[in-house]
């Protein structure tokens, strides 16, 4: 019985060390654009989407930035983001949800639905 307890303690300690090493080697995503799927339309704008995109780039964890596509006749574009999610897929789902929520809130002429512009 004593041997079993010692073996269990050693396994627990080894698992703790392995988990700590994985956390220590995780790379920060801060300052990275990530997977860019189409050009982001915020460059040179004064609205909140520029700030939203800048926060997305600065985020250290899995994050996503979504916006409506820009067309020739559009007056505005709508955006949304989600920062520091548990996974890239979760960030994308929430960014789309936030963008669609903003699209429903602001009743302006925009082209199409929200799409993921960049995610990491």
Looking from the CA of 115 toward its CB, the CA atoms found within 13 Å total 15
Helices vs strands, H then E, count in the chain = 3, 4
Rounded-to-integer distance, Cα 64 and Cα 84, Å: 9
Residue 83, in any domain of the structure: yes
**Owning domain of residue 89:** 35-119
pLDDT in tens, the chain (120 residues): 555 555 455 555 555 554 444 444 468 888 888 999 988 876 666 678 889 999 999 999 999 999 987 766 556 788 999 999 999 999 999 999 999 999 888 877 776 789 999 999
* pTM for the whole structure: 0.73
Residue 26, in any domain of the structure: no
* CB of 62 closer than 8 Å to CB of 86: yes
Rounded-to-integer distance, Cα 53 and Cα 45, Å: 11
Total structural domains within the chain = 1
């Amino acid at each position: 019985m004593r041997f079993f307890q010692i073996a269990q303690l050693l396994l627990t300690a080894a698992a703790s060390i392995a988990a700590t090493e994985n956390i220590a080697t995780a790379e920060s995503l801060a300052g990275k654009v990530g997977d860019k799927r189409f050009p982001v339309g915020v460059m040179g704008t004064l609205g909140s989407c520029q700030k939203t995109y800048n926060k997305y780039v600065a985020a250290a964890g899995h994050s996503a930035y979504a916006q409506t596509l820009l067309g020739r006749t559009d007056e505005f574009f709508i955006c949304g983001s989600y920062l520091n999610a548990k996974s890239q897929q979760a960030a994308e789902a929430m960014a789309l949800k936030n963008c669609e929520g903003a699209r429903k809130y602001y009743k302006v002429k925009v082209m199409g639905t929200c799409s993921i512009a960049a995610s990491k």
